[in-house]
Protein backbone atom coordinates (compact mmCIF):
# COMPACT_ATOMS: atom_id res chain seq x y z
CA UNK A 1 0.00 0.00 0.00
CA UNK A 2 1.21 3.52 -0.79
CA UNK A 3 2.05 5.38 2.41
CA UNK A 4 -0.52 8.04 3.17
CA UNK A 5 0.57 11.62 2.50
CA UNK A 6 -1.80 14.52 2.88
CA UNK A 7 -2.02 16.90 -0.09
CA UNK A 8 -1.81 19.80 2.35
CA UNK A 9 -4.12 22.13 4.19
CA UNK A 10 -7.89 21.78 3.92
CA UNK A 11 -8.75 24.71 6.22
CA UNK A 12 -7.76 26.52 9.36
CA UNK A 13 -10.36 27.48 11.98
CA UNK A 14 -10.04 30.46 14.32
CA UNK A 15 -12.15 32.14 16.98
CA UNK A 16 -13.65 35.58 16.23
CA UNK A 17 -15.42 37.98 18.55
CA UNK A 18 -17.63 39.64 15.92
CA UNK A 19 -18.66 37.81 12.74
CA UNK A 20 -19.69 41.00 10.91
CA UNK A 21 -16.39 42.73 11.56
CA UNK A 22 -14.45 39.60 10.62
CA UNK A 23 -16.48 39.22 7.40
CA UNK A 24 -15.88 42.84 6.44
CA UNK A 25 -12.13 42.41 6.89
CA UNK A 26 -11.65 39.11 5.06
CA UNK A 27 -14.00 40.05 2.20
CA UNK A 28 -13.38 43.74 1.67
CA UNK A 29 -9.75 44.08 2.69
CA UNK A 30 -8.38 40.70 1.60
CA UNK A 31 -10.86 39.91 -1.18
CA UNK A 32 -11.80 36.43 0.02
CA UNK A 33 -15.26 35.03 -0.70
CA UNK A 34 -17.64 34.31 2.18
CA UNK A 35 -18.22 30.79 0.93
CA UNK A 36 -20.73 29.77 3.59
CA UNK A 37 -22.22 30.90 6.85
CA UNK A 38 -23.73 28.20 9.05
CA UNK A 39 -24.24 27.32 12.67
CA UNK A 40 -21.38 25.58 14.44
CA UNK A 41 -22.42 21.92 14.16
CA UNK A 42 -21.15 21.23 17.70
CA UNK A 43 -22.71 24.40 19.18
CA UNK A 44 -25.80 25.30 17.14
CA UNK A 45 -26.33 28.65 18.87
CA UNK A 46 -23.06 30.03 17.48
CA UNK A 47 -22.11 31.04 13.92
CA UNK A 48 -19.46 29.48 11.71
CA UNK A 49 -18.12 31.50 8.75
CA UNK A 50 -16.09 30.00 5.90
CA UNK A 51 -13.91 32.21 3.69
CA UNK A 52 -11.93 31.06 0.69
CA UNK A 53 -11.76 31.28 -3.07
CA UNK A 54 -14.97 31.53 -5.09
CA UNK A 55 -15.56 27.76 -4.96
CA UNK A 56 -14.31 27.15 -1.43
CA UNK A 57 -11.51 24.91 -2.64
CA UNK A 58 -9.54 22.99 0.00
CA UNK A 59 -6.35 24.87 0.82
CA UNK A 60 -8.00 28.29 0.44
CA UNK A 61 -10.34 28.03 3.44
CA UNK A 62 -10.13 30.10 6.62
CA UNK A 63 -13.08 29.58 8.94
CA UNK A 64 -14.23 31.26 12.14
CA UNK A 65 -16.32 30.30 15.11
CA UNK A 66 -18.02 33.44 16.42
CA UNK A 67 -17.60 33.22 20.21
CA UNK A 68 -18.06 36.75 21.56
CA UNK A 69 -17.90 35.56 25.17
CA UNK A 70 -14.66 33.58 24.77
CA UNK A 71 -11.54 34.77 26.57
CA UNK A 72 -8.81 36.41 24.53
CA UNK A 73 -6.48 33.74 23.21
CA UNK A 74 -2.70 33.76 23.35
CA UNK A 75 -0.24 32.04 21.05
CA UNK A 76 2.20 29.61 22.59
CA UNK A 77 3.41 26.03 22.60
CA UNK A 78 0.88 23.75 20.91
CA UNK A 79 -0.77 26.63 19.05
CA UNK A 80 -0.56 28.60 15.82
CA UNK A 81 1.40 31.84 15.57
CA UNK A 82 0.29 33.02 12.13
CA UNK A 83 -1.15 31.96 8.81
CA UNK A 84 0.20 33.08 5.46
CA UNK A 85 -1.71 33.65 2.24
CA UNK A 86 0.02 33.32 -1.12
CA UNK A 87 0.36 36.04 -3.73
CA UNK A 88 2.16 35.40 -7.03
CA UNK A 89 5.03 37.89 -7.17
CA UNK A 90 7.06 40.58 -5.38
CA UNK A 91 5.20 43.18 -7.42
CA UNK A 92 1.79 41.92 -6.27
CA UNK A 93 3.14 41.76 -2.70
CA UNK A 94 3.97 45.48 -2.89
CA UNK A 95 0.47 46.12 -4.24
CA UNK A 96 -0.89 44.42 -1.10
CA UNK A 97 1.35 46.58 1.08
CA UNK A 98 0.10 49.76 -0.58
CA UNK A 99 -3.52 48.59 -0.27
CA UNK A 100 -3.12 47.87 3.47
CA UNK A 101 -1.31 51.16 4.03
CA UNK A 102 -4.05 53.13 2.28
CA UNK A 103 -6.62 51.33 4.46
CA UNK A 104 -4.59 52.40 7.52
CA UNK A 105 -3.84 48.83 8.55
CA UNK A 106 -0.37 48.68 10.14
CA UNK A 107 1.83 46.45 7.96
CA UNK A 108 5.51 45.48 8.12
CA UNK A 109 7.70 44.15 5.34
CA UNK A 110 8.44 43.22 2.63
CA UNK A 111 10.69 40.98 4.76
CA UNK A 112 13.23 38.92 2.82
CA UNK A 113 12.72 35.36 4.11
CA UNK A 114 14.87 33.72 1.47
CA UNK A 115 12.34 31.12 0.36
CA UNK A 116 9.70 33.85 -0.07
CA UNK A 117 9.15 37.54 0.75
CA UNK A 118 6.53 38.49 3.34
CA UNK A 119 4.23 41.17 4.72
CA UNK A 120 2.82 41.00 8.26
CA UNK A 121 -0.31 42.60 9.71
CA UNK A 122 -3.19 41.63 12.01
CA UNK A 123 -6.87 40.88 11.59
CA UNK A 124 -9.48 42.73 13.72
CA UNK A 125 -9.08 40.25 16.61
CA UNK A 126 -5.30 40.49 16.56
CA UNK A 127 -4.45 37.29 14.67
CA UNK A 128 -1.09 37.72 12.94
CA UNK A 129 -1.50 37.36 9.18
CA UNK A 130 1.16 37.15 6.51
CA UNK A 131 1.08 37.49 2.73
CA UNK A 132 4.01 35.66 1.12
CA UNK A 133 5.26 35.42 -2.44
CA UNK A 134 4.84 32.04 -4.11
CA UNK A 135 8.58 31.81 -4.85
CA UNK A 136 11.47 31.43 -5.14
CA UNK A 137 10.86 28.37 -2.95
CA UNK A 138 12.84 26.01 -0.76
CA UNK A 139 15.50 24.97 -3.27
CA UNK A 140 17.48 28.22 -3.15
CA UNK A 141 19.95 26.92 -0.57
CA UNK A 142 19.69 23.12 -0.91
CA UNK A 143 19.33 20.79 -3.87
CA UNK A 144 15.69 19.99 -4.62
CA UNK A 145 16.34 16.29 -3.97
CA UNK A 146 17.99 16.98 -0.59
CA UNK A 147 15.70 19.46 1.16
CA UNK A 148 15.79 19.42 4.95
CA UNK A 149 19.02 17.49 5.29
CA UNK A 150 21.20 20.17 6.89
CA UNK A 151 20.60 23.22 9.05
CA UNK A 152 20.46 26.32 6.84
CA UNK A 153 21.85 29.60 8.13
CA UNK A 154 20.53 32.93 6.92
CA UNK A 155 22.05 35.78 4.96
CA UNK A 156 22.90 39.08 6.65
CA UNK A 157 20.28 40.93 4.60
CA UNK A 158 17.61 38.74 6.21
CA UNK A 159 18.59 39.18 9.86
CA UNK A 160 17.63 41.88 12.37
CA UNK A 161 20.43 44.35 12.89
CA UNK A 162 21.94 43.84 9.45
CA UNK A 163 18.94 43.89 7.15
CA UNK A 164 18.08 47.25 5.61
CA UNK A 165 15.08 48.24 7.72
CA UNK A 166 14.80 51.69 6.11
CA UNK A 167 14.61 50.22 2.61
CA UNK A 168 12.08 47.61 3.79
CA UNK A 169 9.89 50.28 5.38
CA UNK A 170 10.07 52.48 2.27
CA UNK A 171 9.29 49.77 -0.30
CA UNK A 172 5.72 49.97 -1.55
CA UNK A 173 3.70 50.17 -4.74
CA UNK A 174 3.79 53.68 -6.25
CA UNK A 175 0.05 53.92 -6.98
CA UNK A 176 -3.00 53.40 -4.75
CA UNK A 177 -4.56 49.93 -5.01
CA UNK A 178 -8.26 50.43 -4.25
CA UNK A 179 -9.31 47.34 -6.24
CA UNK A 180 -7.81 43.86 -5.87
CA UNK A 181 -6.74 42.91 -9.38
CA UNK A 182 -6.95 39.27 -10.54
CA UNK A 183 -3.14 39.21 -10.73
CA UNK A 184 -2.71 40.02 -7.03
CA UNK A 185 -5.57 37.91 -5.64
CA UNK A 186 -4.64 35.70 -2.72
CA UNK A 187 -4.43 32.14 -4.02
CA UNK A 188 -4.72 30.14 -0.81
CA UNK A 189 -2.73 29.17 2.25
CA UNK A 190 1.00 29.55 1.62
CA UNK A 191 2.00 28.19 5.02
CA UNK A 192 0.85 28.01 8.62
CA UNK A 193 3.31 28.49 11.48
CA UNK A 194 2.98 27.38 15.08
CA UNK A 195 5.11 26.74 18.13
CA UNK A 196 6.20 23.47 19.65
CA UNK A 197 8.36 22.49 22.62
CA UNK A 198 10.28 19.45 21.35
CA UNK A 199 10.90 20.02 17.68
CA UNK A 200 12.63 16.71 16.98
CA UNK A 201 9.80 14.69 18.53
CA UNK A 202 7.25 16.88 16.77
CA UNK A 203 9.02 16.34 13.46
CA UNK A 204 8.79 12.58 13.90
CA UNK A 205 5.11 12.98 14.69
CA UNK A 206 4.20 14.99 11.57
CA UNK A 207 6.20 12.70 9.33
CA UNK A 208 4.61 9.58 10.79
CA UNK A 209 1.08 10.88 11.28
CA UNK A 210 0.52 13.00 8.13
CA UNK A 211 3.19 11.75 5.75
CA UNK A 212 4.68 15.23 5.55
CA UNK A 213 8.45 15.46 5.11
CA UNK A 214 10.92 17.77 6.77
CA UNK A 215 11.97 20.17 3.98
CA UNK A 216 13.85 22.88 5.85
CA UNK A 217 15.74 23.22 9.10
CA UNK A 218 16.53 26.87 9.65
CA UNK A 219 16.28 29.57 12.31
CA UNK A 220 13.60 32.11 13.14
CA UNK A 221 15.00 35.20 11.43
CA UNK A 222 13.40 37.51 14.01
CA UNK A 223 14.73 35.43 16.93
CA UNK A 224 17.85 33.67 15.64
CA UNK A 225 18.29 31.44 18.71
CA UNK A 226 15.04 29.67 17.89
CA UNK A 227 14.94 26.83 15.38
CA UNK A 228 12.36 27.12 12.60
CA UNK A 229 11.55 23.90 10.73
CA UNK A 230 9.29 23.34 7.74
CA UNK A 231 7.37 20.25 6.63
CA UNK A 232 5.41 19.71 3.42
CA UNK A 233 4.12 17.25 0.88
CA UNK A 234 7.49 16.65 -0.83
CA UNK A 235 8.50 13.80 -3.10
CA UNK A 236 12.12 14.73 -3.70
CA UNK A 237 11.33 16.68 -6.88
CA UNK A 238 8.84 19.34 -5.77
CA UNK A 239 7.11 20.83 -2.72
CA UNK A 240 3.35 20.92 -3.17
CA UNK A 241 1.94 24.45 -2.74
CA UNK A 242 -0.51 24.75 0.14
CA UNK A 243 1.20 22.09 2.25
CA UNK A 244 3.91 23.98 4.19
CA UNK A 245 3.46 23.54 7.92
CA UNK A 246 6.19 25.27 9.91
CA UNK A 247 7.04 25.40 13.61
CA UNK A 248 9.24 27.47 15.87
CA UNK A 249 11.06 25.26 18.36
CA UNK A 250 10.45 26.95 21.68
CA UNK A 251 11.86 25.72 24.95
CA UNK A 252 9.38 23.96 27.25
CA UNK A 253 9.53 26.88 29.70
CA UNK A 254 7.63 29.05 27.22
CA UNK A 255 3.91 29.43 27.90
CA UNK A 256 1.45 27.11 26.25
CA UNK A 257 -1.11 28.38 23.77
CA UNK A 258 -4.41 29.47 25.25
CA UNK A 259 -7.48 29.09 23.06
CA UNK A 260 -9.81 32.01 22.52
CA UNK A 261 -10.50 35.12 20.46
CA UNK A 262 -7.83 35.91 17.91
CA UNK A 263 -6.32 32.44 18.00
CA UNK A 264 -6.50 29.28 15.96
CA UNK A 265 -8.84 26.55 17.15
CA UNK A 266 -7.52 23.80 14.87
CA UNK A 267 -5.72 23.07 11.60
CA UNK A 268 -7.24 20.70 9.05
CA UNK A 269 -5.36 18.68 6.45
CA UNK A 270 -6.80 17.03 3.34
CA UNK A 271 -8.05 13.52 2.68
CA UNK A 272 -9.08 13.05 -0.94
CA UNK A 273 -12.26 11.08 -0.20
CA UNK A 274 -14.15 9.10 2.43
CA UNK A 275 -12.23 5.87 1.76
CA UNK A 276 -8.91 7.63 2.21
CA UNK A 277 -10.21 9.24 5.40
CA UNK A 278 -11.01 5.81 6.84
CA UNK A 279 -7.50 4.70 5.93
CA UNK A 280 -6.14 7.79 7.71
CA UNK A 281 -8.20 6.92 10.76
CA UNK A 282 -6.84 3.36 10.90
CA UNK A 283 -3.34 4.69 10.33
CA UNK A 284 -3.62 7.21 13.20
CA UNK A 285 -5.17 4.64 15.54
CA UNK A 286 -2.27 2.35 14.62
CA UNK A 287 0.13 5.03 15.88
CA UNK A 288 -1.65 4.90 19.23
CA UNK A 289 -3.42 8.23 18.81
CA UNK A 290 -6.81 9.08 20.19
CA UNK A 291 -8.89 9.74 17.04
CA UNK A 292 -12.51 10.90 16.89
CA UNK A 293 -15.14 9.02 14.92
CA UNK A 294 -15.88 10.38 11.43
CA UNK A 295 -18.02 13.51 11.91
CA UNK A 296 -20.40 14.83 9.22
CA UNK A 297 -19.65 18.53 8.57
CA UNK A 298 -22.07 18.65 5.57
CA UNK A 299 -19.47 20.08 3.15
CA UNK A 300 -16.88 17.48 4.19
CA UNK A 301 -16.41 14.81 6.83
CA UNK A 302 -13.82 15.13 9.57
CA UNK A 303 -11.73 13.27 12.08
CA UNK A 304 -9.87 14.97 14.93
CA UNK A 305 -6.73 14.16 16.91
CA UNK A 306 -3.92 15.97 18.71
CA UNK A 307 -0.19 16.38 18.19
CA UNK A 308 2.00 15.56 21.23
CA UNK A 309 2.39 19.30 21.95
CA UNK A 310 -1.39 19.67 22.17
CA UNK A 311 -2.10 21.16 18.71
CA UNK A 312 -5.62 20.12 17.66
CA UNK A 313 -5.60 18.65 14.16
CA UNK A 314 -8.28 17.50 11.74
CA UNK A 315 -8.32 15.50 8.53
CA UNK A 316 -11.19 16.62 6.27
CA UNK A 317 -12.36 15.23 2.95
CA UNK A 318 -12.21 17.30 -0.24
CA UNK A 319 -15.83 16.45 -0.98
CA UNK A 320 -18.71 16.87 -1.23
CA UNK A 321 -17.78 20.58 -1.08
CA UNK A 322 -19.74 23.77 -0.64
CA UNK A 323 -22.06 23.33 -3.62
CA UNK A 324 -23.95 20.61 -1.75
CA UNK A 325 -27.53 21.59 -0.89
Q: Residue numbers of the site for Fe ion (CB under 5 A)?
A: 13, 84, 130, 193, 268, 314
- How many CB atoms sit inside 10 A of residue 126's CB? 14
In eight-state DSSP terms, residue 183 is G
Which residues, in sequence order, are CB contacts of 105 under 8 Å at separation 6+? 29, 121, 122
Please report how close the Cβ of residue 116 comes to Fe ion at its closest, in angstroms. 8
Which residues, in sequence order, are CB contacts of 13 under 8 Å at separation 6+? 62, 63, 64, 65, 264, 265, 266, 267, 268
84 or 215: CB nearest Fe ion: 84
106 or 253: CB nearest Fe ion: 106
| Nearest Cα to Cα of residue 95 among 32, 169, 172, 170 | 172
What are the strands of the beta sheet with 108-112, ordered from one edge?
108-112, 117-122, 128-133, 80-87, 189-196, 244-249, 223-232, 213-220
48 or 283: CB nearest Fe ion: 48
176 or 212: CB nearest Fe ion: 212
Please report how close the Cβ of residue 128 comes to Fe ion at its closest, in angstroms. 9
CA distance 170 to 238: 34
Q: Collapsing DSSP states into helix, strand and coil, what is residue 105? A: coil
Please report how close the Cβ of residue 285 comes to Fe ion at its closest, in angstroms. 20
Please report how close the Cβ of residue 60 comes to Fe ion at its closest, in angstroms. 14
* Neighbouring C-alpha atoms within 13 Å toward the C-beta of 182: 1
Please report how close the Cβ of residue 113 comes to Fe ion at its closest, in angstroms. 7
Report whether 87 contacts 132 (CB < 8 A): yes
Please report how close the Cβ of residue 228 comes to Fe ion at its closest, in angstroms. 9
118 or 203: CB nearest Fe ion: 118
87 or 102: CB nearest Fe ion: 87
Please report how close the Cβ of residue 266 comes to Fe ion at its closest, in angstroms. 6
What region, left, alpha or beta, does residue 242 occupy, with left being phi > 0 and alpha being psi -120 to 50 degrees? left
136 or 176: CB nearest Fe ion: 136
Amino acid sequence: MTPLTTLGFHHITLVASDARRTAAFYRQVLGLTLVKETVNFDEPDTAHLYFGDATGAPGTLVTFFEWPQAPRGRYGVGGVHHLAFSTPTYETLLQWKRRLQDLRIPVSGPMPRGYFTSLYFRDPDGQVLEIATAGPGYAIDEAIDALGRDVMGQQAHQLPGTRDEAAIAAATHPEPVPVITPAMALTGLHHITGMTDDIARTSDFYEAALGLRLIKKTINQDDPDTPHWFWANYDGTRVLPGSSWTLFGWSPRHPRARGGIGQTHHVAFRAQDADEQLAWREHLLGLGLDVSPVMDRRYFTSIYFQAPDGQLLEIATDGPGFAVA
